[in-house]
Amino acid sequence: MSGQDVIALEKLTYYRGQKLIFEQLDLVVETGKITAIMGPSGCGKTTLLRLIGGQLQPHSGTIHILGKDLQQLNRRELSRLRSRMGVLFQSGALFTDLNVFENVAFPMREHGNLTEEQLSEQVLLKLDAVGLRSARHLFPAQLSGGMARRIALARAVAMNPEVVFYDEPFAGQDPIATTAVMRLIQSLAQAQGHTSVLVSHDLAETCAIADHIILLGHGRMLAQGTPTQLLASEDPVVQQFTRGEVDSMMPLYDSI
C-alpha cells in the first residue's frame, strides 16, 4: 500500500455460505479520485463495500483503509475510523422515525461536539449543497426517491469524511434525478476534496464522472483503467460488459 492509496485490498477471499464471492482479490483506490467498481449484478459489489466498511469479515487477506488494517482494529477504533467515512446506501437508508433535518444531523450528534446553533447551521449548509433546504421538516416517507437519495447524500458527507462510498447511486432514478446525483457526486468531491468510491452497473453515468474504473467478475478483477481505456478495451470480457452483449462466448454470469 503506497501513501497515495485510501483503500488497499490484498489477497482478499470471501465466501457467502459455500459460494466463493472473491478469490485472492487485490485492489487499490487512490486518494482524491472518483473510483468506480463495476461488474454485473450479483458479482459482489455491495459485498465488497460491506467488507471495506468492516461490516463483514473476509475469510483471508487484508483490508487497509485510511492507513489502518481493518482486522487489527477493536470496536472503538473501528467506530472512530467509520466516522471518517461516509456511505450512501442503495436504498438511501434514511431513518424513518427522524425527519430530514434530524437525519442529516444524526452523525453530527453522534460524533461531533457542536452546539445546537452550530449544528443547525451545518445541517442547513449540507441541505443547501443538495438543494433541499426547504425539505428539512419532511419525513422520509414524504420524499420522492430522488429527494431521499439527495438527503442521504447530504447525510453521508455531513461529517466531511475523507472517503465516501456510493452504493448504486443511480439505480431506480429518473434521468433528471440521475443527472442531479451525478453532478452532486462530482461537486461534493471537488468541494470537500474527499475520495469517492462508486459501486455501480450503470455504465454511461459511471463513465461520465469516474476517474478510474475497476471491473469485477468471477470473484476477481477483470480489468481496470480510465473510462476511455475501458471503453476502448479489446478484451472480450470487458467488451461483453461495456457493450451489453448477451450472447457472448464469455460466461460472465455463469460462475456468479
SS (H, E, C) the chain: CCCCEEEEEEEEEEEECCEEEEEEEEEEEECCCEEEEECCCCCCHHHHHHHHCCCCCCCEEEEEECCEEHHHCCHHHHHHHHCCEEEECCCCCCCCCCCHHHHHHHHHHHHCCCCHHHHHHHHHHHHHHCCCHHHCCCCHHHCCHHHHHHHHHHHHCCCCCCEEEEECCCCCCCHHHHHHHHHHHHHHHHHHCCEEEEEECCHHHHHHHCCEEEEEECCEEEEEECHHHHHCCCCHHHHHHHHCCCCCCCCCCCCC
Integer Cα distance of 194 and 34 in angstroms: 9
- Please, which residues bridge with residue 64 across strands? 8, 69
The reply on whether position 128 binds another protein by CB under 8 A is no
The reply on whether position 80 binds another protein by CB under 8 A is yes
Query: Which three cell numbers mark 168?
Result: 448504486
Shortest distance, position 2 Cβ to another protein, whole Å? 26
The reply on whether position 106 binds another protein by CB under 8 A is yes
The reply on whether position 59 binds another protein by CB under 8 A is no
Pick the binder of another protein from 62, 90, 120, 248 (CB under 8 A). Answer: 90
The reply on whether position 85 binds another protein by CB under 8 A is yes
The reply on whether position 95 binds another protein by CB under 8 A is yes
Pick the binder of another protein from 73, 93, 114, 231 (CB under 8 A). Answer: 93
The reply on whether position 192 binds another protein by CB under 8 A is no
The reply on whether position 96 binds another protein by CB under 8 A is yes
The reply on whether position 19 binds another protein by CB under 8 A is no
Pick the binder of another protein from 5, 40, 50, 114 (CB under 8 A). Answer: 50
Q: Which residue, 188 or 222, is less far from another protein as judged by CB?
A: 188
Site string for another protein, 145-184 (x = CB under 8 A): ----------------------------------------
The reply on whether position 89 binds another protein by CB under 8 A is yes
Q: Which residue, 55 or 226, is less far from another protein as judged by CB?
A: 55
**Interface with another protein: number of residues (CB under 8 A):** 22
Q: Which residues bind another protein (CB under 8 A)?
A: 50, 53, 55, 78-80, 82-83, 85, 87, 89-96, 106-107, 110-111
